[in-house]
Amino acid sequence: MTNEMKPVRVRFAPSPTGRLHLGGGRTALYNYLLAKKTGGKFILRIEDTDRKRYIENAEQELMDGLHWLGIDWDEGPDKPGEFGPYRQSERKEIYLKYAEQLIKQGDAFYCFCTPERLHRMKEEQEKRKEFPHYDGHCRDISLEDARKRIAAGEPYVIRFKTPKGGVTTVHDAIRGEITVENRTIDDYIIVKSDGWALYHLAAMVDDHLMGITHVIRGSEWIPTLPLHHMIIQAFGWEEPVWIHLSVFLKPSGKGKMSKRESADLIKDGYSIFLTDFKDLGYLPEAVTNWIALMGWSYDDHTEFFTMEDLIKDFSIDHLNPSPAAINFTKLDYFNGVHIRALPVEDLAHRIKPFFEAKGYHPDDETLLKITPIIQERIVTLDDAPEIAGFFFEDHVTPQTEDLIQKGLTAEKCAEIAEKSYQVLADLPEISPRIGEPEMRALVEELGLKPAQVFGVLRVAVTGRKVSPPLFESMEIIGKDIVLERIKTAAKMLREYQSRNN
RNA sequence: GCCUCCAUCGUCUAGGGGACCAGGACGCAACCCUUUCAAGGUUAAAACGUGAGUUCGAAUCUCACUGGAGGUGCCA
């Protein structure tokens, strides 16, 4: 069905009031996917009508976050199109014009109630255990009187006039019919006293003017969906297909992430803010794959998706309406999978900054050599300097205790180091091809287990008990340094031996 | 409180009346592979919230309850 969909026009319409989080990223992604899939257009619109909440760098971070994920738009603040401007703060007059139309039609009215009166009204309603709603005080002021009061300089807002009886039913593409009693829909303010339109008006006007065919947005808009429907009806416009996505819950599944919890996450190497994932060592491919699957699925077994795959396979009828708990463990899994899927050169390029951030100075040649042997061992790019940083250190500092293998004495281990030295010193070079066969012969000769002999070597050469494959590592380090380190280790073991006798 | 939405393994999910004593994935456990750590392979444990109803037959449809979430702003 979706395969034959006509080109859509969709939009992602965030407000620059904070950082772009996972949920917003997913909403943007789904919009983008639907546009690409149908050969339609994806529009980025900035909803910045609330000047009080405006945050200076938010818009830039928003765009950076989307770009990092691999999402680009056809029209937006930085990409003029025929439906612009794409910042609501630049469209003030447009909204006023349409508000005026609503007033003339009798679908909206001027309201002169002071915030104080409204506050008192609300308190009384709460005392009487009624649900808070506008009491209709200014609903029936004649247009003539209203204009006089405005001319006299009285402050006012514009409210949409909702019907008092009956029900309103709106269709959502993934939830079916959503029916609400009209009496529960308030006479919402659509233009503030400062002359700025509110979301309910601005978004409906823009969606219409920008030719939006499908609105994919968060479920927090479900309660006001009937209002939006009424506004569109009042103008006589064509209604878009509504698609309300579920929310993301915290990992426990109990409620959504609080500000405090979001801030704490970073200590564990996670975040819910899109722009943090890069520095945390996550691949945009992995994050995209991960969030795509929280609320959408393809079939009962496919889970690896590139952006290209997603564009090909995405469809709105596989969207899931229920809330999803964020599972960071699964992100780690996806990151590993996508790291392993990367060409070596690409991965080498991506881990370089992480080495540099830890103070290493990786040369590209060495980097290219170590990348294949750590590729299946790192979960985040950030792990790379941790497990392979020693390749760029001049000296390693093994612990004597680590050099002594389980079930062996220091003396025996010293002997292993010394004999290994002799074997390796005679070779033209050390690599899995040249060196390993000889060393295995030595293992045989000594009557030991491979793990014991290689264990001594591993700690001696890399300075650690856990490392990438031994012979590959020694090849990269080079014969001279390897021999020097083995010699040092042997000396340490001998010293330990005499000290403890 | 009121309104609305949601409800399958711990988590993400497949499932849209018989194909399901419910499939996949993460995680967890065991085993195999193995010079460490990973990766990979095999196996195991693990779910249809409760109660009615419709039907020859319900995870799938209806209702109630329960639980969870969202909304209730001159925010978006």
Residue-wise pLDDT for A86-96, tens only, equals 999 999 999 99
Mean pLDDT of A66-87: 96
Q: Using one digit for the tens of pLDDT, what is the confidence trace for A121-162?
A: 998 888 888 888 999 999 999 999 999 999 999 999 999 999
Q: What is the fold of A345-392?
A: Helicase, Ruva Protein; domain 3 (1.10.8)
CA of A225 to C1' of B69 (A): 17
CB of A163 lies under 7 Å from some atom of strand B: no
* ipTM score assigned to the predicted complex: 0.95
Q: Using one digit for the tens of pLDDT, what is the confidence trace for A327-348?
A: 999 999 999 999 999 999 999 9
Q: Where are the domains of chain A?
A: 91-245, 259-340, 345-392, 400-499
CA of A8 to C1' of B20 (A): 38
**What is the model's pLDDT at position A334?**
98
> What stretch of H or E contains A248?
strand A248-249
Q: Using one digit for the tens of pLDDT, what is the confidence trace for A422-438?
A: 999 999 999 999 999 99
Nearest to A26 by CA among A253, A304, A201, A219: A219
DSSP codes of every residue in A256-294:
PPPHHHHHHHGGGT--SBGGGTTTTT--HHHHHHHHHTS
Distance CA A84, CA A43 (A): 10
**Residue corresponding to tokens 């014009």:** A97
CB of A17 lies under 7 Å from some atom of strand B: yes
CA of A440 to C1' of B34 (A): 14
Q: Quick check: A375 pLDDT over 80? A: yes
CA of A219 to C1' of B70 (A): 7
In this structure, what token pair is assigned to residue A122? 């609300």
Q: Report residues 331-360 of A contacting strand B, contact meaning Cβ closer than 7 Å.
A: 332-333, 336-337, 340
What confidence category does residue A311 fall into, taking pLDDT thresholds of 50, 70 and 90? very high
What confidence category does residue A2 fall into, taking pLDDT thresholds of 50, 70 and 90? very low
CATH number (3.30.530.20, 1.10.10.350, 2.30.30.180, 2.40.50.100) of A400-499 reads 1.10.10.350
**pLDDT above 70 covers what percent of chain A?**
99
**What is the model's pLDDT at position A253?**
84
Q: Which DSSP state fits A7? A: P
Nearest to A157 by CA among A132, A190, A203, A186: A190
Mean pLDDT of A472-480: 95
CB of A445 lies under 7 Å from some atom of strand B: no
Nearest to A241 by CA among A191, A176, A181, A324: A176
Mean pLDDT of A398-426: 92
- Preceding amide of A450 cis, omega within 30: no
Q: Report residues 27-56 of A contacting strand B, contact meaning Cβ closer than 7 Å.
A: 47, 49-50, 52-53
CATH number for the region A91-245 comes to 3.40.50.620
What confidence category does residue A23 fall into, taking pLDDT thresholds of 50, 70 and 90? very high
Angle formed at CA A136 by CA A130 and CA A140, multiple of 5 degrees: 160
CA of A4 to C1' of B27 (A): 39
Residues of A classed as catalytic: 259
Q: Strand runs (DSSP E) across A13-136, as ranges?
A: 41-44, 108-111
**What is the model's pLDDT at position A169?**
93
Question: Is residue A390 exposed (0-12), middle (13-18) or buried (19+ Cβ within 10 Å)?
Answer: buried
Distance CA A12, CA A32 (A): 8
Mean pLDDT of A278-291: 97
Higher pLDDT, A15 or A254: A15
Mean pLDDT of A38-67: 95
Q: Which nucleotide is nearest to A193 (CA to C1')?
A: B74
Mean pLDDT of A285-309: 96
**What is the model's pLDDT at position A128?**
84
Rg of the Cα trace of chain A? Answer: 32
Distance CA A490, CA A8 (A): 71
Q: Report residues 399-428 of A contacting strand B, contact meaning Cβ closer than 7 Å.
A: none
CA of A333 to C1' of B28 (A): 15
**A448 neighbors A416 (Cβ within 8 angstroms):** yes
Q: Which nucleotides of B are covered by protein (CB under 7 A)?
A: 1-8, 10-16, 23-27, 34-40, 68-76
Q: Using one digit for the tens of pLDDT, what is the confidence trace for A224-283?
A: 999 999 999 999 999 999 999 999 999 988 888 888 888 889 989 999 999 999 999 999
Q: Quick check: A447 pLDDT over 80? A: yes
Task: Please report, for residues A299, A319, A337, A346, the alpha-carbon distance to residue A303 in angstroms, rounded to integers and kept in the order given.
Answer: 9, 15, 11, 23
- State how beta strands A241-245 and A214-218 pair: parallel
Q: Report residues 100-139 of A contacting strand B, contact meaning Cβ closer than 7 Å.
A: 113-115, 118, 122, 129, 131-133
Nearest to A343 by CA among A370, A309, A306, A371: A371
Query: Is A259-340 a CATH 1.20.1250.20 domain?
Result: no
**What is the model's pLDDT at position A4?**
64
